[in-house]
Amino acid sequence: MTKSEVKLLGAWPSPFVMRARIALNIKSVSYEFLEETFQPKSQLLLDSNPVYKKVPVLINQDKPICESLIIVQYVDDVWSSGPSILPSEPYDRAIARFWATYLDDKWYPTLRSVRGAKGEDERKKLIKEVGEGLTLLEDALNKISRGKDFFGGDQIGYLDIAFGCFLGWLRVTESLTGVKLLDQVKTPCLAKWAERFCAHGAVKDVMPQTEKLVEFAKMLMAKMAASTPN
């Protein structure tokens, strides 16, 4: 496939965009990365994702695909000769999809709301929930990996991608709150998994540096504070 046939519309801070990039990297797909401008949203974004107007959008031979996990599955389906992303067994696939849904519907929204917490009590409560989620994920990793390096086994797979993309923002939250969330004592397997994930060939060039993300988060928070009426 020539480079211009596959395009990914995205934004460097977005964990969801990272999912798509990791999937394409695993399959060694050449693609053109288009950094979305946002203010205002580009015509390409509005045309290719009229429903949600969000990134990532994968455009393959002029056909747009939206929603990060759907993109990851699509990449797995199209470039089927590359290393598999979804597990091969239906039950293992269901478990991977279950946890990915949990991450998107429950865990990440809780992590995000830590930054916007109103008051110390609310922040503490949310941090506790994030920690409880990590304990569940530690347990899941132990069961699913069957002693191997990743949720996907010897290689990173769907759930590694679905979860690992949030590590940058997890570190940002640790930095901003001063609370260690991914604890080597409480969740030793996850802590080791996180290091391996971030060092992986398909991940390391697309994982943003924590310092840059912290700066970006601070800028976002300042903007929000400025636009919130008193």
Name the residues that contact another protein, by CB under 8 A: 51, 60, 63, 65-67, 70-71, 73-74, 77-78, 90-91, 93-95, 97-98, 101-102, 136
Q: Which is nearer to another protein, 54 or 200 (CB)?
A: 54
Q: In this complex, which beta carbon is closest to another protein, that of residue 24 or of residue 213?
A: 24
Provide the minimum distance between the beta carbon of 211 and another protein in the complex, in angstroms, as a whole number.
Answer: 33
Cβ-proximal residues to 14 (8 Å cutoff; 6+ apart), any chain = 55, 56
CB contact burial 79-108 (16+ within 10 A = b; e otherwise): beeeeebbbeeeebeebbbebbebbbeebb
Least separation in angstroms between CB 222 and another protein: 29
N- to C-terminal Cα separation, the chain: 54
State which residue, 121 or 146, has the beta carbon closest to another protein: 146
Specify the length of the chain in residues.
Answer: 230
CA distance 79 to 39: 34
Report helix, strand or coil for 183.
coil
In the bound state with another protein, the residue whose beta carbon lies nearer, of 163 and 168, is 163
Q: Which is nearer to another protein, 59 or 213 (CB)?
A: 59
Q: How far is the CB of 100 from another protein (least distance, A)?
A: 9
C-beta separation of 189 from 8 below 8 A: no
Q: Based on CB atoms, which residue is closest to another protein, 103 or 194?
A: 103
Residues 6+ apart with CB under 8 A from 70: none
For another protein, give the closer residue by CB, 74 or 216: 74
Query: Whole-number minimum distance, CB 112 to another protein, in Å?
Result: 17
Locus of tokens 């801070």: 13
Asked if 57 and 9 touch (Cβ cutoff 8 Å), the reply is yes
Minimum CB separation of residue 68 from another protein in Å reads: 11
Give me the least distance between CB of 105 and another protein, in Å please.
9
Residue 19: CB minimum distance to another protein, A: 14
Residues 6+ apart with CB under 8 A from 193: 141, 145, 149, 150, 151, 160
